[in-house]
Chain A
Amino acid sequence: GENVEQHPSTLSVQEGDSAVIKCTYSDSASNYFPWYKQELGKRPQLIIDIRSNVGEKKDQRIAVTLNKTAKHFSLHITETQPEDSAVYFCAAPLAGSGNTGKLIFGQGTTLQVKP
């Protein structure tokens, strides 16, 4: 089945620096890759997603890149701010689920942005 690996598990950066989180997936049929931000005790919030027909997508300080050949995708946060501190999860559709919202999640990355 689908397997999603996420690295690093923790990331500490200085305010204003960039942060990059990487994920790899195993199912070559996957075509939807979301990134979620989760604050303590709260629901995951979708921050950006990418579909397999594009290689990069940007939304202000956040960008996601996708390499379908290598089966990996990355989250890039520029000009980090303390409020970016949270746990970030990548996800991919479960193998055979038909990309219907049934997701398998990476292990999560705890991002700490130091003021």
Chain B
Amino acid sequence: GAVVSQHPSWVICKSGTSVKIECRSLDFQATTMFWYRQFPKQSLMLMATSNEGSKATYEQGVEKDKFLINHASLTLSTLTVTSAHPEDSSFYICSAPPRGGTEAFFGQGTRLTVV
């Protein structure tokens, strides 16, 4: 299957700072990538859709100015959590379907802890 790599696997940051998470499709091109957030013992909640060459689209209730998404190329999307607060601590996971595909391949996830 296709490989999606996410970096870093875990990060600890101080309140008020920003953190960037990268999501790369290693062996296929992805015009679209998806960002999810998962709180402990909960399901995956879709945050936003990252679109190569255009603006990201955000799900209801997700602040676009807080969660900045940039889809720089056909293999890279980044999520920047700005002015992080402890309540932003969560597991962030990206997924990408190969172009024209339906199946979603997930990155390893990033455990963000804001202290």
Contacts and interface: CB of A to CB of B under 8 A. Distances in A.
Contacts of B44: 44, 89, 105
B93 interface: yes
Contacts of A42: 108-109
A101 B96 CA distance: 7
B103 A43 contact: no
Contact of B46 (A41, A100, A102): A102
A101 B43 contact: no
A94 B46 contact: yes
Contacts of A93: 102
Contacts, number: 58
Contact of A43 (B43, B102, B109): B109
Given A41-B111, A43-B107, A89-B43, A102 B93 contact: no
B97 A101 contact: yes
Interface of A is mostly: loop
B87 to A, nearest CB: 20
A103 B104 CA distance: 8
B111 A43 contact: no
Interface residue tally on B, bucketed by range: 20 to 34
Interface residues of A, number: 22
Interface string B2-18: 00000000000000000
B101 interface: yes
B67 interface: no
Contacts of A45: 106
Interface of B: 1, 32, 34, 42-46, 49, 91, 93, 95-97, 101-109, 111
Given A34-B104, A101-B102, A102-B46, 17 more contacts: A43-B93, A43-B107, A46-B103, A46-B104, A46-B105, A89-B43, A89-B44, A100-B97, A101-B32, A101-B103, A101-B104, A103-B95, A103-B104, A104-B46, A105-B45, A107-B42, A107-B43
